[in-house]
Amino acid sequence: MLDSLNLSKFVTYLNETNNIMSTHMLGLGSKFPAFEKKAVVSLEKDKEFATITAEDHKKDGKWMVMFWWPKDFTFVCPTEIAEFNRRAGDFSDRDALLIGASTDSEFVHAAWRRDHDDLRGLKFPMLADTSKSLAEELGILTEDEKVAYRVTYIVDQDGIIRWVSANDLSVGRNVDEVLRVLDALQTDELCPCNWKAGEATL
């Protein structure tokens, strides 16, 4: 039988274990969670918003690349969003649905797009995980403010996570690397270190 001291230690252990599990980032081989979220898709009046789901890319036989940023109206985030937008055609050429996401609302997304020169002409949806339910299920929320880390997912046509990369809040990511990994995964072959599209596989 557990005495009071050992019971206390056991409860502490369970709490710590539960905390670790609750902050575990969903990774390779996992099924990307089901979701249905509002997104900003345009700045045209009455056409600003649409509903995006986890099934959208699968029904078209496409891959999905979803990249998260912590907050709208910040400094590093628009540099990344603008670069993803500049390369949007490269993702489309690879039959990949590109989605940007944060825990801000669709109304904040729309306001930011109207306010920022580099964001007005975005070619991909800005998903609003206002409830934070998707970010929480992915395990990508920071402990303090509960905003998303700079996490990027590559998901195949069957909804399986094939690549995940996470940056701390202060460091922007490399879009070329996201495309390089997408190219490699789509070969379905063994790709050596520093492999680039067009080079020999193993």
Domain ranges of the chain: 36-187
Instruction: Provide the 8-state DSSP code for 99.
Output: E
Per-residue pLDDT tens over the stretch 82-115: 999 999 999 999 999 999 999 999 999 999 999 9
Local structure of 47: helix, strand or coil: coil
Task: Specify the pLDDT at position 185.
Answer: 98
Per-residue pLDDT tens over the stretch 161-193: 999 999 999 999 999 999 999 999 999 999 999
Residue 77 is among the residues annotated as catalytic for this protein: yes
Residue 194 tokens, joined: 């520093």
Distance linking the first and last C-alpha atoms of the chain = 58
Task: Specify the pLDDT at position 22.
Answer: 42
Contact 115, 81 (CB under 8 A): no
Sheet containing 49-53, strands listed edge to edge, beginning at the edge strand earlier in sequence:
49-53, 36-40, 126-128, 96-102, 63-68, 150-155, 161-167
Q: 36-187: what fold?
A: Glutaredoxin (3.40.30)
The catalytically annotated residue of 77, 126, 128, 181 is: 77
Average the pLDDT over 130-147 and give the result.
96
What pairs with residue 65 in β-bridges? 98, 154
From the list 178, 151, 153, 143, the residue with the least C-alpha distance to 167 is 151
From the list 63, 33, 55, 75, the residue with the least C-alpha distance to 170 is 75
> 0.85 cut: is pTM over it?
yes
Per-residue pLDDT tens over the stretch 22-77: 458 999 999 999 999 999 999 999 999 999 999 999 999 999 999 999 999 999 99
